[in-house]
Amino acid sequence: MARGAARAIAGPNIALSGRVTALAFSDDDGRLIAGDETGRYAVWDIGSGHLIYFATLPGAVGAVGLDASGIRFAADTDDAMVFGHVGDTPRQLSEQVLASSLAFGTDSVTAADGRGRVVTWQLSTGKQISDQGVGLGSPLASAFTRDLRLFAGATLGNDPYIVDRVSGDNVVIDVGQTGVSIDEMAFDPSGSTLAIATRAGVLLWDVASKRLKSPVLAGIPGAHRPGSVSVEKGGRVVAAVGDRGVAVWNLNAEPPLVQTIEPTGISRLDQVPNVVRGATSTVFSPQGDLLAWTAIGARLSDGLFVVVWDLNSGRERPDSPASMSSRSALKAIQSRRELSRTRKGW
């Protein structure tokens, strides 16, 4: 697979002004929301190519989420947990939750933090309706499934584990080695696979069979960055961000490491900014067709980019309307034909 497999959806990005700390897709893959360390958040429509809205929230953004249709959003910042309709002024639900995951119900939003605390609010009233703790101790790394039912954690000196917060079942994860340092954990959108990022690479745990799915996936370019590992729905494609680029693995390919995107510099605004200096987020869309990550150009003057890779179609999406500024428009995205051909039959 050759390099340059994606195009920036926004860049240089005037909608965001700092290091991106959170990314999330709507359930239908139709919209993407990003939040940064300055409190800015932005929402893009993937199909039409429009930057829908951007605004500033109180405090750095720690987590963001969209409802199923991408109409409502929630965010946890340094100052408050907020909720609102995209384009409207959000209202505060509570003080900061330190959320790592957010999930919407029909009339509720739930926030989960890295310690296993799960808090739910009723949106019609803005009142908190539940507060539950499911973690074991104070985990160094943790993750929730998209529906927030399963919680995975890793505490110092102990084996990592998965807890079902509905049934209370607790499963110990055998990573096949002792003394492993776990930097991060992330479930795929379906909750069937858990990615465990270590200094040696990424391990994949099959939740149903309770065993590892593959040997360690090595090849992260540079040091792994916290908050920057993601798994495609079904657990067959994995991405991780290092301080020198992005690695993508396809478990059905041989060898599994099918793409390493490394710094190249930028000569055109629509060229992929293959540098992720300062990036902390990467995420697959719920349907599994898109992969988003953040990047900063090879030169500081290149600015901040949000990059989306179409893993499925191999076709370029429609450009934004010509009347929109190239500095704020949602740019077309396209995957490499080699990856598209490889992905057939996954």
pLDDT, tens digit, for every residue of 153-182?
888 778 889 999 888 898 999 887 766 788
Q: Is residue 2 part of a domain?
A: no
Instruction: Supply the pLDDT for residue 211.
Output: 94
> Is residue 1 situated within a structural domain?
no
Expressed as residue numbers, the domain containing 160 is 7-343
Q: What does the pLDDT read at residue 201?
A: 87
In a domain, 246, yes or no: yes
Per the domain annotation, does 33 fall within a domain? yes
Kindly report each contact of residues 198-204 with a partner whose C-beta sits within 8 Å and lies 24 or more positions away, as own/partner: 199/224, 202/229, 202/238, 202/240, 202/249, 203/175, 203/176, 204/231, 204/235, 204/238, 204/251
Look at residue 188 in the predicted model and tell me its pLDDT: 92
DSSP letter at 217 equals B
- The domain tally of the chain equals 1
Residue 195 has pLDDT above 90, yes or no: yes
Model pLDDT, residue 340: 36
Among candidate residues 31, 64, 27, the one with its CA nearest the CA of residue 46: 31
Q: Do residues 74 and 96 lie in contact, with contact meaning Cβ atoms separated by under 8 Å?
A: no
pLDDT for res 333:
28
More confident residue, 200 or 190: 190
Q: β-pairing, 201-206 with 193-198?
A: antiparallel
Cα separation of 84 and 33, whole Å?
13
Q: What is the pLDDT of residue 230?
A: 87
148 closest CA partner among 164, 161, 136: 164
**Is there a contact between 19 and 37 (Cβ–Cβ < 8 Å)?**
yes
Give the three-class secondary structure for 218.
Answer: coil
pLDDT at 33: 92
In this prediction, residue 148 has a pLDDT band, given cuts at 50, 70 and 90, of confident
CATH code for the domain of 324: 2.130.10.10
Cβ-based burial of 338 (10 A; exposed 0-12, middle 13-18, buried ≥19): middle
pLDDT in the model for residue 279: 52
pLDDT in tens, 25-84: 998 888 999 888 889 898 988 877 678 888 899 889 988 999 988 999 999 998 889 999
Kindly indicate the confidence band of residue 147, based on its pLDDT and cuts at 50, 70 and 90.
confident
Residue 320 predicted with pLDDT over 50: no
pTM listed for this prediction: 0.77
Whether 320 maps to a domain, the answer reads yes
pLDDT of residue 262: 52
pLDDT(343) > 80 = no
CA distance 136 to 172: 12
Q: Please check the confidence at residue 89 and state whether its pLDDT lies above 60.
A: yes
Model confidence pLDDT, tens digit, residues 247-274: 788 888 777 766 665 544 444 434 444 4
Determine the 3-state secondary structure of 129 from DSSP: strand
What is the reported pLDDT for 74?
93
Q: Is residue 186 part of a domain?
A: yes
